Amino acid sequence: MSTTRELVRAAADRLAAAGVGSPEYDAAELLAHVLDTTRGRLLLVDAVEEPQRRRYDDLVARRAAREPLQHLTGSAAFRHVEVAVGPGVFVPRPETELLAGWAIDRAREVVAAGEVPVVVDLCTGSGVIARSIADEVPEARVHAVELDPDAHAWAERNLAGTGVDLRLGDLATAFDELAGQVHVLVSNPPYVPLEAWESVAVEARDHDPHLALFSGDDGLDAIRVIAVRGLLLLRPGGVVGVEHADAQGEAAPAVFSHDGRWEEVRDHRDLAGRPRFLTARRPQS
């Protein structure tokens, strides 16, 4: 039998050699998953039995082959919730928590003003943004749409019992009945340029659905649709927040600012200082 410390150290070395970006973290997370515990409690486990060690070896080998960690554990943590993920759905990224937090803050402002916030999440994927908003702003009426049937099935699972209105459909046509009623529109759309294929991390390129990644030659096709759709869905003074690639810190906001139809267009950086998402407001008139 091996100790948890020995197993994690050996696995981390193996993952590092394979080019995994966070080998120590991933090694510990996988062992905690096998042992049905947490990373913080691993040292309390005296020894790992042989069947558990074999299962761990298998998971480490799959992670070394760059299968996403969250596919191996079956879940992803995001703000105060956990969602189920796996093949067929985009794995939520930590940096998207900032966009979700922005949407939550705006929805809370609506509540503070004595209204019921109407929030729409376009390209919901796993449903994680909609789930977080419903969790942290229970007064909100949250609506979400996803085009890909496989991803929609994951969102259906993650949003069950939350009260979120989830639909299978296209962001360009969804929620016509909410025209002029939405307070907050939020989206983490596909935004990778087709020409950037080789630069995409192996975990995303080989395992995330391409519908969730790529958006035309410059990566801005979906964002252009959101800029048009937002003017229809949002009420006067309503706000939109859209994630984009760090190389699109000027190009993505320009989609909203180029013709003067949006106000207060600005970009926001993530915790690493990289351009991460844009926000804008529909004019009052």
**Distance in angstroms (rounded) separating the CA atoms of residues 56 and 50:** 10
Residues whose CB falls within 8 Å of the CB of residue 121, separated by 6 or more in sequence, listed in order: 127, 129, 130, 133, 142, 143, 144, 145, 186, 187
The response to whether 209 counts as a known ligand-binding position is: no
The response to whether 191 counts as a known ligand-binding position is: yes
For residue 177, CA distances in Å to 18, 111, 197, 265 come to 50, 22, 37, 26
The response to whether 158 counts as a known ligand-binding position is: no
**Distance in angstroms (rounded) separating the CA atoms of residues 231 and 234:** 6
The response to whether 189 counts as a known ligand-binding position is: yes
For residue 277, CA distances in Å to 140, 163, 239, 241, 250 come to 22, 27, 13, 7, 11
Element (H, E) at 83: strand 81-84
The response to whether 177 counts as a known ligand-binding position is: no
Positions at the binding site:
146, 188-191
Positions at the binding site for S-adenosyl-L-methionine:
146, 188
Positions at the binding site for substrate:
188-191
